Each structure stands twice: as structure tokens, then as C-alpha cells.
């Protein structure tokens, strides 16, 4: 039994549909149409060549004509959509036409199905955003390994002991040089020892960029403690150091650290093609790794011309050694036999300074200016995220029906004002921030659920108190 209120709404929708049917029949073009007729108690139906078929039902021969923009039509489409187990537009349309003929049917069904929360959970795409401008870090002239990216690769298995070995990769964001270290594990202590050896060999760095691996996070705390000790007034009387600024990319957004992730891929490819299925000793593996480092630092980073008169391509090794690692020694500058001669040393120093200035000029003109080219696959601005928006959190390790719902609690705009990351909370009994996401998530892992404002009536206070449980969400709005 329907309540008086529901009966009133149903009667209103029925009267509205009958009024539309009468107006539809009275139009001149429809009065003259042989495909439209009023049959069976004044219900508007479609006629056709199947009218005399005896093996078909009345609805199959004469489906009821319905307008496209009524609540009755919407509910009938929704019922058919559930009967075909949330299939697409075509299968829903076939199910609807067993009894009804909806004007502008495909367009109307698309509009109705776009509100299905179950389908949106499985069919919606993650957010996109235009490519961010390059930061100042990789486009400013600086000494090699002043601004670095850090990452681990591996494991590799060693002959005899079958122990695991890992590769610590450190790459320069400016000159694109790499420094490879073979380490026995990925613990904080091992990383700090390797990092100290790197600084002693390559010099002090000012900025370190890495992902959110637990090793790096713990190492940052240790490094901060070391710098606090070094910055003590008593220690400053003897030593003067610059602090290291550590920056983290957004969680699981490996492309944010693309300048070192690309080098990881290069190292892995060289090892895979060189070693194959071979298993080497530690000394052999270390030798191969250093040779791969030399090969990568000798790769061209500018255009390689075919004309013999053109200068040789610029490589990262030019900024480290003044020449390619595999090149023969330069004989342009012949030094006197007396190496302690002051004039000879000054002449050698000035020659190296001119050489480095020419390298940096070529780096700016041939390498840096090529970075201003736009990416070939440009994307349009996505719908702007807002605080308290309900989202679906993409997780490549789980089936889509197990993805969690979340809520945006803070926007993290970039230097150009575009939002490419957000702080979120997840579907949880206590509504706490996700530990495994450390509250930050890139737009490519955020799927915006448009029905949020319809559920809450755009009530921000209710949004902040919303318990994000997918079982509480309606199937259809």
C-alpha cells in the first residue's frame, strides 16, 4: 500500500504523462504520422508492420510511447538498468524497448545512467591536470651533485652466498650525472654510511629529492640530528657546513621523481641485457656497476650531429672530468716538465675554467632550451577538486570493488596554482588519515564522485562528519 503522500506524487507524475501524451497527439505532424496511434484505453503506443503478428505480445508489437524528461521515465530506465545488472546504454535500451518507446531514448538513458553510483564507482576515470612547469632546481646552473635525487634498485643476488645486494642510485638534477653504490641492505644505517661516502667523494649537496621510502624518512631524522650537532656554536668555530634540505615527492607518484626514476630504468636495462641469468660475485658485480655508471655518464644529453665539423655532443662526464670518460686524454694544453711552476698551474686552471664555461654555455643553449617544448600529449584542465569532496582512491593492487572511499581535507596547489595533489582521509570507523598514504595523494589516484553534494545537500558541516562507508550510499540518485 502506498502512503497518501506517495499516492499524490504518483498521481502527479501520471497526470503529467497523460497531459504530455494528449499534447503530443494533437500536433499536426503526429496526427498525420501512420506510426502513432491511440490504442488500449487512450494509452499512446507505437504502431508498425508487426501489428498482425500473433506470436508477439502487445508490448512487443505496440510499445508505450514515453516522454524523455519525466520522473516516470527515469524510474523505468533505472528499473531496466538493474534488470540487466548495471550493463551499458545499449543493453539497457534493449530492456526498456521490450515495453516502452522513449523519445530520444539513447540520450535519455545516458543521462540517467550517469547518476548510477554503482556504475560510477567502476567506470569513472581518475583526475587529470595540465603538465606542471619545471621547478627552478633543474634549470639553474650549479656544481654537479649539488641538487640530487636518491632511489634504490634491486635486489641482486650474489654468487656463492646467494645474499641480496641493492643499488643506491644518486643522480644530479642539473647535469644528469649518476653515482651508483652497491649496498648490502636498505636499512637507515647502511644508507647513511653510503651517503657519507658519496659526500666525501662528490662534495656536499644542498637539496635531496626522494620518494617516501621509510629508509629515507628515518635517514632525514638522523641527518637533521647530525646537522644540529654540527651547527652547535662550539663546533662552528672549527667547521662550517651548509644544511641539507630534503624534499619528498607525493606518495606513489613515481613520475614526480622522473629525473631519477628514468636513471633507475637505464641502470636496470643495462644490467638485464649484460648479465642475463648470470650470477656474479660481489667484486664482479661492483665492477660491472661502476662500468655502467661510466657508460651512463658518457651518454649524450645534446643533439649528436652527423657533420664532422660540429662539436662533440655534451655528456654529464664533461661537467665531472672535462671530457667523456671513454675519450683519449686531451693534448691541447702541453704543460712544462716542471709541474710545480706557478705559471703553468695558473695556465692549466684558466684553461679548465674556459672549458667549463663553454660547457655550461652549450648546456644552456643545446640542452636547457629544449626542455621548454610542450609535451605531445597535452590534457585539458580537470574539474577542480574542493575540500570535503568524496573521492574513490585508486589502488592498482586491489580489484576496483575493494577501492576505498575517501574525503579531501586539504588542497595542495602547485607553483602555477593548479591542484595536482590533495590531503585525504579514508573510509574508516575513526575517520583518521591514511597512514599508508601519509595523507597526500596525487590527482591521478583520485576519482571524483559527483553524487556527494546530492547526498549531503552541499552541507560542509555534514561533510566533515560524514562516515565514509560505501554501504550507506544509495545505488541511484
358 and 415 fall within a common domain: no
The three cell numbers of residue 435 are 597512514
Domain count, the chain: 4
CA dihedral in degrees (424, 428, 429, 432; nearest 10)?
-30
Say whether the peptide bond before residue 279 is cis (omega within 30 degrees of 0).
Answer: no
**CA of 196: how far to CAs of 217, 254, 280, in Å?**
16, 26, 27
Confidence of residue 458 (pLDDT cuts 50, 70, 90): very low
Instruction: Please indicate, yes or no, whether residues 170 and 119 belong to a single structural domain of this protein.
Output: no
Structural domain includes residue 66? yes
Task: Tell me, yes or no, whether 215 lies in a domain.
Answer: yes
Model pLDDT, residue 468: 46
Averaged pLDDT score across all residues of the chain: 70
11: cell is 498521481
Q: Is the pLDDT of residue 297 over 80?
A: yes
Q: Are residues 215 and 292 in the same domain?
A: yes
Check whether residue 226 and residue 321 sit in a common domain: no
Residue 170 φ then ψ, to 5°: -125, 125
* Nearest residue to 118 via CA among 392, 388, 382: 392
**Confidence band (pLDDT; 50, 70, 90) for 446?**
confident
Instruction: Determine contact, residues 379/387, Cβ cutoff 8 Å.
Output: no
Q: What is the DSSP letter of 137?
A: G
Whether 210 and 148 map to the same domain: the answer is yes
Average of per-residue pLDDT across 421-443: 58
CATH of the domain at 259: 3.30.420.10
The cell 508477439 sits on which residue? 56
Q: What is the mean pLDDT of residues 227-247?
A: 53
Look up the domain containing 310 and give its range: 300-326+346-374
Phi, then psi, of 298 in degrees rounded to 5: -100, 5
Whether the Cβ atoms of residue 112 and residue 77 lie closer than 8 Å to each other = yes
Least confident of 234-243, 315-324, 335-344, 395-404: 234-243
393 with 406: CB under 8 angstroms?
yes
Residue 311 maps to a domain: yes
Pair 179, 292 in one domain: yes
Are 159 and 280 in contact, with CB atoms under 8 Å apart?
yes
179 and 272 together in one domain: yes
Domain membership of residue 294 (yes or no) is yes
**Strand, coil or helix: 59:** helix
CA distance 246 to 221: 10
The yes-or-no verdict on residue 55 having pLDDT over 60 is yes
Q: How far apart are CA 87 and CA 92, in angstroms?
A: 7
Provide the 8-state DSSP code for 363: I
| 171 shares a domain with 80 | no
Greater confidence (338 vs 294) lies with 294
- Looking at residue 269, what is its pLDDT? 85
Cα angle value 236/240/245 (rounded, 5°): 115
Q: Considering the domain boundaries, does residue 280 fall inside one?
A: yes
pLDDT exceeds 50 at position 99: yes
Is the pTM for the entire model greater than 0.85? no
The per-residue pLDDT for 455 is 46
Task: Label residue 137 exposed, middle or buried (CB < 10 Å: 0-12, 13-18, 19+).
Answer: middle
Q: What is the DSSP letter of 116?
A: B
Give a yes or no: residue 474 inside a domain. Answer: no
Integer Cα distance of 469 and 122 in angstroms: 16
Q: Range with the lowest mean pLDDT among 206-215, 355-364, 458-467? A: 458-467
DSSP structure class, residue 104: T
* Residue 137 clears pLDDT 80, i.e. is over it: no
Q: Angle between the 71-83 and 105-113 helix axes, to the nearest 10 degrees?
A: 70
233 burial (CB, 10 Å; 0-12 / 13-18 / 19+) is: exposed
140 has a pLDDT exceeding 70: no
> Which among 445, 444, 420 is positioned nearest to 434, based on CA atoms?
445
pLDDT at 15 over 60: no
The dihedral region occupied by 414, where left means phi > 0, alpha psi between -120 and 50, and beta the remainder, is beta
Question: Tens digits of per-residue pLDDT, 153-199?
Answer: 878 888 777 788 888 899 988 888 899 988 888 777 788 888 888 88
Indicate if 160 and 273 belong to the same structural domain.
yes
Q: 377 pLDDT band (50/70/90 cuts)?
A: low
Amino acid at each position: 500500500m502506498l502512503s497518501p503522500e506517495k499516492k499524490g506524487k504518483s498521481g502527479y507524475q501520471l497526470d503529467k504523462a497523460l497531459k504530455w501524451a494528449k499534447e503530443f497527439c494533437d500536433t499536426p505532424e503526429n496526427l498525420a504520422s501512420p506510426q502513432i496511434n491511440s490504442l488500449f484505453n487512450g494509452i499512446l503506443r507505437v504502431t508498425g508492420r508487426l501489428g498482425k503478428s500473433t506470436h508477439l505480445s502487445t508490448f512487443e508489437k505496440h510499445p508505450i510511447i514515453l516522454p524523455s524528461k519525466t520522473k516516470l521515465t527515469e524510474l523505468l530506465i533505472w528499473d531496466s538498468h538493474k534488470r540487466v545488472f548495471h550493463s551499458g546504454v545499449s543493453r539497457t535500451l534493449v530492456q526498456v524497448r521490450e515495453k516502452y518507446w522513449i523519445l530520444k531514448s539513447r540520450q535519455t538513458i545516458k543521462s540517467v545512467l550517469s547518476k548510477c553510483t554503482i556504475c560510477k564507482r567502476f567506470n569513472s576515470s581518475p583526475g587529470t591536470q595540465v603538465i606542471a612547469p619545471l621547478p627552478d632546481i633543474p634549470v639553474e646552473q650549479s656544481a654537479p651533485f649539488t641538487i640530487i635525487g636518491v632511489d634504490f634498485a634491486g635486489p641482486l643476488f650474489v654468487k656463492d652466498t646467494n645474499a641480496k645486494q641493492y643499488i643506491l642510485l644518486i643522480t644530479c638534477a642539473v647535469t644528469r650525472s649518476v653515482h651508483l653504490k652497491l649496498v648490502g641492505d636498505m636499512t637507515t644505517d647502511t644508507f647513511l654510511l653510503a651517503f657519507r661516502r658519496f659526500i666525501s667523494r662528490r662534495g656536499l649537496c644542498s637539496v635531496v629529492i626522494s620518494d617516501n621510502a621509510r629508509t629515507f624518512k628515518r635517514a632525514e631524522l638522523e641527518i637533521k640530528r647530525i646537522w644540529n650537532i654540527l651547527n652547535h656554536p662550539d663546533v662552528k668555530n672549527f667547521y662550517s657546513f651548509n644544511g641539507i634540505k630534503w624534499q619528498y615527492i607525493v606518495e606513489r607518484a613515481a613520475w614526480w621523481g622522473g629525473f631519477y626514476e628514468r636513471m633507475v630504468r637505464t641502470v636496470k636495462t643495462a644490467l638485464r641485457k649484460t648479465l642475463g641469468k648470470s650470477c656474479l660475485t660481489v667484486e664482479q658485480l661492483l665492477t660491472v656497476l661502476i662500468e655502467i655508471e661510466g657508460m651512463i655518464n658518457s651518454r649524450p644529453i645534446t643533439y649528436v650531429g652527423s657533420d664532422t665539423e660540429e662539436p662533440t655532443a655534451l655528456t654529464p662526464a664533461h661537467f665531472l672530468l672535462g671530457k667523456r670518460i671513454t675519450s683519449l686524454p686531451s693534448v691541447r694544453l702541453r704543460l712544462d716538465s716542471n709541474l710545480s711552476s706557478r705559471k703553468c698551474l695558473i695556465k692549466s686552471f684558466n684553461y679548465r675554467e674556459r672549458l667549463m664555461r663553454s660547457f655550461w654555455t652549450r648546456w644552456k643553449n643545446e640542452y636547457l632550451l629544449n626542455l621548454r617544448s610542450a609535451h605531445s600529449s597535452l590534457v585539458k584542465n580537470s574539474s577542480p577538486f574542493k575540500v570535503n569532496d568524496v573521492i574513490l582512491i585508486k589502488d592498482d593492487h586491489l580489484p576496483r570493488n575493494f577501492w576505498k572511499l575517501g574525503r579531501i581535507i586539504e588542497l595542495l596547489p602547485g607553483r602555477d596554482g593548479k591542484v595536482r595533489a590533495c590531503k585525504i582521509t579514508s573510509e574508516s570507523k575513526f575517520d583518521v588519515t591514511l597512514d599508508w598514504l601519509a595523507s597526500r595523494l596525487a590527482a591521478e589516484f583520485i576519482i571524483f564522485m559527483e553524487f556527494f553534494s546530492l547526498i549531503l545537500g552541499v552541507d560542509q558541516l555534514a561533510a566533515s562528519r560524514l562516515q565514509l562507508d560505501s554501504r550507506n550510499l544509495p545505488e541511484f540518485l
